[in-house]
Amino acid sequence: MIKRDPILKAAAKLAEHRTPVLDRKGLDAFVGSFLERSDLFLGIREMQGSPLYVIEENVLLERAATFTAAFRAELPDVSVYYAVKSNNHPAIAATLTAAGLGLDVSSGLELQTALDCGASDIVFSGPAKTEQEHALVAANHGRVTVLIDSFGELERLERAAAAAGVRVRSGVRLTTSRSGLWRKFGIPLADLSRFFAAAKKCGHIELRGLQFHTSWNLGPANQVRFIARLGAALGKMSSRDRSAVEFIDIGGGFWPPQGEWLLSAGTPEGRLREAVAVAGRPSLRHHRLPASPIDEFACRIGRAVWKHIFPNVSCRICAEPGRWLCNDAMHILLTVLDRKGADIAITDGGTNAVGWERFETDYFPVINLSRPALTERKCYVLGSLCTPHDVWGYAYNGKDIRPGDALLIPTQGAYTWSLRQNFIKPLPKSVMLRADGTVTAAIP
């Protein structure tokens, strides 16, 4: 029967799949790096209470410097823009702006955040921008480059710029998918020359560049492939249109170096087991999808740009990292309020702080700072929300777990704060751990 049914055949193959296991030595080193600073985090909790977001300024600054240096070692002219959607905390945007990065925004709300924190180099991407958003762009046209998403937006932006009596610097976004939901973004490569022709008729639009974006890049293969396609398309354009291209924005989607850590339920084979109700309780065997180092991203993307882009146009290369910059720069501090038996503990903070049921599939260690140990012990560590899906983890690292203990959930900087929910319980406060060691309240 399995041999005849393609679905069952695929399921049988999937059941044999083995997602790589997270190396215990590497995990111990990761946990140990936070245990070495347990007194620091315990002191922050004593001063500020919990639950609490803790933002580390020095991590943001180090990540910004490392990313920028990697790409500038491979390409002659590079600009880096922090993707605000990955964590739209104003203190993070302000820190990276002060470090010399531009900001990539995808809404009027994010654009206003960027303007408020003093950013002078902003790219505005995203579909279906409103009249109000275009008006805000026009009012700040000296600080904003609009990445136009469609022929319809080209017309709407022209009207807004004309009404304000200004010329708006812009680029056009290119879709990287020929089918599926990602066609939501940008125009097809085949329409590029037609778009340039339409833009020439718009007296208030300065079309100066191109942008594309691929997401969830554990390695640079997707970016390299599209750069090759883009180079071929540029080669077919007129020399006049090519000469107008001053920048090419390769987007973001760079995965942080620790890779993607998963529980069994987050793996393909684990999802299959859950679908047939044989999953059982999560084990202490965790999984890791490795990510390429940023130097490898930069090297392979740089080679692709030299091979496919620079023979056609001489331009600045832009990148929009988000997750790569902020992932490791924010942690969540909690306090255990109740222990309901040997294998269940309840904390004072709920997963509305991250906005989704992240820890049912993604793995992050729950580190008991009050009773430190590398040993991982099985225990349901749950939040204070009135829902059974309020899960922080299925184990903790420590000697024991008791009411009053301080727990750290590390590296929660990407797509958590931005997705947080006003659901049942108040959201945590946030503090900034400054590079000089001082701790200040961070305005939410």
Judge whether residue 131 has pLDDT over 60. Answer: yes
**pLDDT, tens digit, for every residue of 315-353?**
999 999 999 999 999 999 999 999 998 899 999 999 999
**pLDDT, tens digit, for every residue of 166-207?**
999 999 999 998 888 989 999 999 999 999 999 999 999 999
134-156 average pLDDT score: 98
Contacts of 291 by beta carbon, 8 Å cutoff, 6+ apart: 218, 219, 255, 256, 257, 258, 259, 260
Considering the domain delimited by 57-257+291-326, tell me its CATH architecture.
Answer: Alpha-Beta Barrel (3.20)
Q: Phi first, then psi: what are they for 247, rounded to 5°? A: -145, 150
Question: What is the topology classification, in CATH, of domain 34-54+327-441?
Answer: Lyase, Ornithine Decarboxylase; Chain A, domain 1 (2.40.37)
Neighbour tally for 268: CB within 10 Å: 12
Neighbour tally for 37: CB within 10 Å: 13
**Contact assessment for residue 114 and residue 136, using Cβ atoms and an 8 Å cutoff:** no
**pLDDT, tens digit, for every residue of 343-377?**
999 999 999 999 999 999 999 999 999 999 999 99
**Contact assessment for residue 382 and residue 307, using Cβ atoms and an 8 Å cutoff:** no
Judge whether residue 5 has pLDDT over 80. Answer: no
d(CA 289, CA 259): 6
- Residue spans per domain, the chain: 34-54+327-441, 57-257+291-326
